[in-house]
Structure 1
Amino acid sequence: MRVSGFLWGRSIGAYGDSAFNEILTISMRLGLLDRQECAAASRFTLACSERFLNFWYDSNEQSVNLWFYGRQTDAYRAEHRLVGENISLSCQHLCVQRAWADVSFDATPLMLPEQTLKFTPFCNDKYTRGLFHWYDGKRLFVLPLINGDKHYFATSPYFPVPFSAGLITGVAQGHAPLWVPGLVDSRGCILRPLVWFGDCGYQKTKNGWEIEINYSALNVVMENGVLLSEPKKDYSCQCRTRYFIEPSTLTRVDTFSFLKHSEMYLELQCAVFPEKMRMIHSADSLHIDYESNGIQSLELNGFEDYCVERTALCSPYGALGQQITGRRNFSGAKNVTVSWQIRYC
């Protein structure tokens, strides 16, 4: 059983797994799960604790590994908390397994359909807040539409991108703008489609689904070369983002509409785990094939210049191997469309 807990949010790492474990366990103890759900939850919690022992615990270090060999957390959960994190995570898993030890049931676990997609709203507000989550028959993806609020809204663990274990991840401690394109001007201003999620929806397509997110304003990430600490709107540009979901393929298409003349360039940064590749570069697209059990290819379209290089970026789950950047200059254009697509196994 392939397991992973929460994949988005600040410095989530091993706690993304154990949090899921505790939620399922408390739900069982409160009688909120039926017998089939209990069977599924029991299998998940066991697999999750096995992942803790086999992935998060490092026998060479004699410690939980949240910080070594390419893994990284935010500063508040850095290596100075090593003893506390070992105690905390170990206690969580021990308590969870003790809670399930005396539970018996003979129900058949829930079987996932070949494909399923749902949206869970978090609140009814002027802006959409919630979580898209889907299973394509192979992998589970989560696409959060949230507001990281002060200091975190412009960090990649809070970005509106489809996170999936070993495929797409955020980067703790830093402002690497992964998987979301941004507009940059000569004065050091950066705008991105974040936070202000307007009309959102999804529909079934022939081979999967299409998710659409509309932004009536972009988010000012940087102003005069200085990172902002709070979300701020810019109404000079709007954006329509669409995700196309098909078996083993995920595509994001962004269309920016400018309400006034702009002298800016568009930039997108992506980062992947594998390094071995074969690259094909044409006039306005870049295609990269990877030797990997996760991502098999990445394609960028609509940009003029591309750069592929090794990266020092680290995720909670390990070092990223490669950073890919696309850039496009434009002047006076009313609409600009760019996209990325990944194929995976």
Structure 2
Amino acid sequence: MRKSKFVLTVVSAALLALACGGGAPPGAGNPPGTEFPVDPAVLAAQPKASNTPMDEIVTRQLLPTIDRLFDQVRAQGLDTELQGVKVFAPNSGDKFLPGKVAIGFSYLLLNASPSDARYQTYLDGYRAISDMTINVTNETWGIYYYLSALWKLKKAGYLDSANPAVSAATLDKLKTRLDWRTFVNPDYTLINLPTNYYGVAFSVARLRYLLGWEGPEASEALLQKMINHYKTFSAFGFSDETDGSGRFDRYSILLIGEIVQRLIETDMQVAPEDLAALKGWLRQSVDVIKMRLNPAGNGIDYGRSLSAYADTSFAEVLSAAAHMNVLTAEEKDIAYAFATRITAKYAEFWYDAETGSLNMWDKGRRTDGYRGKARILGENLSLSHQLLYTNNLWKVSGHAQKPPVSTRAFIDYLDTLPRTALTRFAGFDGQSATYDRGLVTYRDGLRIISLPVVNGAATYHRTNPYFAIPYSYNMLSGVADTQWPQLQPMFTLADTSTGTPQALIPAAYQKNLRTQESADGKVLRVSYEQDAMDRVTGTGSGGSPFKDKRITSTTTYTFEPGQITREDTYTPNGALSLSKIELEFGSFSDGVSTSGDKRFSYASGDVYAFEVEGLQDCTVADVRGDADYNTPGGALQTSIRCSTPAQTFSTPLTIKWMLKYHSPGVASLAPH
């Protein structure tokens, strides 16, 4: 086991633990006075409630926030307004809202007893709200959420009593409207939806069956459709969000967790061979998450739909894996400790006490347009639901009522994890027409750095959260729905005869992805080639990648403690007239100064140095007020913008950058 670098003297750490509330009850097997102290940077990085029982966080912090929203919706009805957003307005953009309202507010009833002072208020209010929202648009995920709520309420006796939570008239309408056929074809193919919706469709059909609204045939067929999709487009056990284009992201890790959660929720039995396959895929997602365990409760760091969902996706997978006994006893304890950090992070970071709401949109934060602020009520409720239902699974195992293992024990476990990993998603068969899709992970102490080599595919291929660049919480980040050239060049051609100039980026067409680790595990080299660029603007470009063979490239990354280097060689297929080459480094670090020759240093932040070779000019921009530099967790501070003016590109060009960051280090909840 590698010795952790985060060890202080006993006296100083003990004093800090007292000052920071580090004296929370340790987990079983970790009696006080037998452990090395924990570095103050770790204690500062993790949520304050990291050593608190998960169920206590849920009861004291999450349920009261739902209660306040319940009172507001009950009082304001369809005119409910949150932070200037008319949440039930026809143009709100939240097509899942009635379902999210149903599942979110159901927890108030399910966690109350008839003797509680607010029990009748919850019962009457729930019935009134379900009547009120019956004609509000509710699709796909919203259908599933609503059915899930109804099934929970039915099992608890709230649908069939003399004083039901949903009126008979409304329930009769729901029976017709909550149907998988609204987004699935008769042959069980999805209607213009990404593949993660197979899990939604199966869940809807299964819950309808449990409610007595239809037979079992559709749910059985959709389950097989889902499993067959995995087998067809998931050569290494991870779901491609497209039909083979290679978009592997948060959903690819999460989807198997969602599927297994739905099997648990609906108590569906599957064939032994299918169960073995599902457990195998679930274990592979667990292994990806294990390499990303960290003190702060941070989740995945690249791709779309991140913000709080980046964290809760890991909580969903881990709770499913624990329930299905895919984890060892030790792994269950560590998974619970990490899931507790995720729950605490939501309460302390994502929830804004000043506004009484989740915040994914303001104070320097930004998420995809798909999860815009118009969905503020629904996002509050769906995220709370994810944390509440995973907490319920941990309660079944007896974990949620207990404190997690101590921070020291948690850190010691992280110190046993491998330094590096290559997770294969697709390709790697050596065929000339095949592109490799994978995720490289480098652990520098408690800092996790990701290098995804994937295809953002339709819509996302040209956005920088899908670039093949390093990502690390609160140090290196993309920005949702933006295309500025973060840490990789963009070549703009001079020919404007066809209108918008054509721009090419090194994305989508990577092959021969290889990794090589040094004998001591400290240095990792990653290399790949591209037989074409992705044309992202101009004639031929569009929503999907456009293969442009006029430039090919080779790329080499070197990861070592405190330093990342990327070196590219771009080779033109004949002389090309370029108007410019651009590259940026948007950073959380601030106080930039330069020593000349494109070398920069920072006075504050995790990154303290950056340098570039192969481009002619570099300037520094303050981007704190620019929304295009707001990441899911907070605003970038500065951007170093490098470029080369018009030229004829006829011989190979090498572009190299190197960044240095403080090591050892640890990513906290928020940017420094």
2:337 corresponds to which letter in structure 1?
A: R
1:325 corresponds to which letter in structure 2?
A: R
> Equivalent residue for 1:315?
631
Q: For 2:610, what is the secondary structure of its paired residue? A: strand
> Equivalent residue for 2:74?
none
> Equivalent residue for 1:178?
486
Deviations along 1:212-252, one digit per CA (max 9) or x if unpaired, are: 0110111111115x962110111111111111101011111
> Equivalent residue for 1:16?
310
How far is 1:86 from its partner? 0.5
CA–CA distance in 1 between the matches of 2:552 and 2:333?
46
> Equivalent residue for 2:567?
253
Alpha carbons 2:303, 2:465 under 8 Å: kept? yes
How far is 1:11 from its partner? 2.8
1:331 corresponds to which letter in structure 2?
A: T
Q: Which runs of 5+ in 2 are unaligned?
A: 1-294, 496-500, 663-672
Alpha carbons 1:221, 1:228 under 8 Å: kept? yes
CA–CA distance in 1 between the matches of 2:418 and 2:593?
31
Alpha carbons 1:113, 1:137 under 8 Å: kept? no
Alpha carbons 2:589, 2:605 under 8 Å: kept? no
- Answering whether residue 667 of structure 2 is matched by residue 341 of structure 1, we say no
CA–CA distance in 2 between the matches of 1:66 and 1:96?
21
| Partner residue of 2:644 out of 316, 328, 332 | 328
- Answering whether residue 516 of structure 2 is matched by residue 203 of structure 1, we say yes
Q: Which structure has the greater CA radius of gyration?
A: 2
CA–CA distance in 1 between the matches of 2:467 and 2:634?
19
CA–CA distance in 1 between the matches of 2:484 and 2:455?
17
CA–CA distance in 2 between the matches of 1:104 and 1:292?
44
Greater strand share, 1 or 2?
A: 1
Alpha carbons 1:218, 1:238 under 8 Å: kept? yes
CA–CA distance in 2 between the matches of 1:114 and 1:252?
25
1:341 corresponds to which letter in structure 2?
A: M
TM-score, normalization: structure 1?
0.93
1:33 corresponds to which letter in structure 2?
A: L
- Answering whether residue 371 of structure 2 is matched by residue 77 of structure 1, we say yes
C-alpha RMSD of the superposition: 2.0
How far is 1:205 from its partner? 3.5
1:88 corresponds to which letter in structure 2?
A: S
Moved more, 93-102 or 119-128: 93-102
Q: For 1:180, what is the secondary structure of its paired residue? A: coil
How far is 1:100 from its partner? 1.8
Deviations along 1:289-314, one digit per CA (max 9) or x if unpaired, are: 21334212221222111121112121
CA–CA distance in 1 between the matches of 2:507 and 2:481?
18
> Equivalent residue for 2:538?
223
Alpha carbons 2:618, 2:643 under 8 Å: kept? yes
> Equivalent residue for 2:558?
244
Alpha carbons 1:218, 1:234 under 8 Å: kept? yes
CA–CA distance in 1 between the matches of 2:344 and 2:658?
33
Question: Aligned in 2, Cα 1:119/1:15: closer, same or farther, shift over 3 Å?
Answer: same
How far is 1:149 from its partner? 1.4
Alpha carbons 1:7, 1:13 under 8 Å: kept? no
Aligned-residue sequence identity (percent) comes to: 28
> Equivalent residue for 1:68?
362
Q: For 1:17, what is the secondary structure of its paired residue? A: helix
> Equivalent residue for 2:424?
121
Instruction: Count residues in correspondence.
Output: 341
CA–CA distance in 1 between the matches of 2:649 and 2:392?
64
> Equivalent residue for 1:289?
601
Greater helix share, 1 or 2?
A: 2
How far is 1:104 from its partner? 5.3
Moved more, 286-295 or 313-322: 286-295
Q: Which runs of 5+ in 1 are unaligned?
A: none
TM-score, normalization: structure 2?
0.49
> Equivalent residue for 2:468?
160
CA–CA distance in 1 between the matches of 2:392 and 2:605?
34
1:340 corresponds to which letter in structure 2?
A: W
